[in-house]
Amino acid sequence: MNISELVKKNRSYRRFRQETRISRDSLTSYIDLARHSASATNRQPLKYLLYTDESDCSRIFPYTRWAGYLKDWDGPEEGERPSAYIIILGDRSITDNYYVDHGIAAQSILLGAVEDGYGGCIIASIDRKGLVEEIRLSDKYEVLLIIALGKPAETVVIDSVKDDDIKYWRDENGTHHVPKRGLDELIISK
């Protein structure tokens, strides 16, 4: 796939084929992509926790919050849950200002996963206090994002924004629709 295809295929997937495991080696290769990505002032303050074991993934799941616009959906059911997680941490001993490093890293990680036939979802809505207690995380680190990964078990399509409504939604077949603004709205001409 070229970069255009990778970016367009990289959607926020929220339902997965839970039985399809992702190896730790694959996750490590995605972190290597993040490692080679840009970092503000080149501080490189990000650290990563990798979870591939099914029991570890079960421990992480309760601290994630899914799809805020889907009010009647509490997240993927058993069998549709992620088969791996990457928790992106900020190392406070390096800096307490991570700028946009974690967003850049997350995108690099997801592009690597998409290239390998997986998909994911960047989760910022997290019960951080509960997660920190569950994984016994040192105060040296701050939880910035969780990336949920797996083999997608849903179809995500891009729609045009209508009536300025940008809320994603699911149709009667479970297809996930994501409205996107057109280029004519984004590029300002003077």
- The pLDDT value recorded for residue 46 is 98
Q: Using pLDDT thresholds of 50, 70 and 90, give the confidence band for residue 1.
A: confident
CB-CB contact of 18 with 148 (8 Å): no
Portion of the chain with pLDDT greater than 70, in percent:
100
pLDDT digits (tens, 9 = 90+) for 63-112: 999 999 999 999 999 999 999 999 999 999 999 999 999 999 999 999 99
Mean pLDDT for the chain overall: 97
Q: Which two tokens stand for residue 145?
A: 């994002």
Residue 13 reports pLDDT greater than 90: yes
Report, as an integer, the average pLDDT of 49-74. 96
- The pLDDT value recorded for residue 36 is 98
Residue 134 reports pLDDT greater than 90: yes
- What are the DSSP calls for the chain, one per residue? --HHHHHHH--B---B-TTS---HHHHHHHHHHHHTS--GGG---EEEEEE-SHHHHHHHGGGB---TT-TT--SPPTTSS-SEEEEEEEETTT-S--TTHHHHHHHHHHHHHHHTT-EEEEE--B-HHHHHHHHT--TTEEEEEEEEEE-B-S-EEEEE-BTTB---EE-TT--EEEEE--HHHHS---
pLDDT digits (tens, 9 = 90+) for 136-156: 999 999 999 999 999 999 999
Report, as an integer, the average pLDDT of 10-38. 98
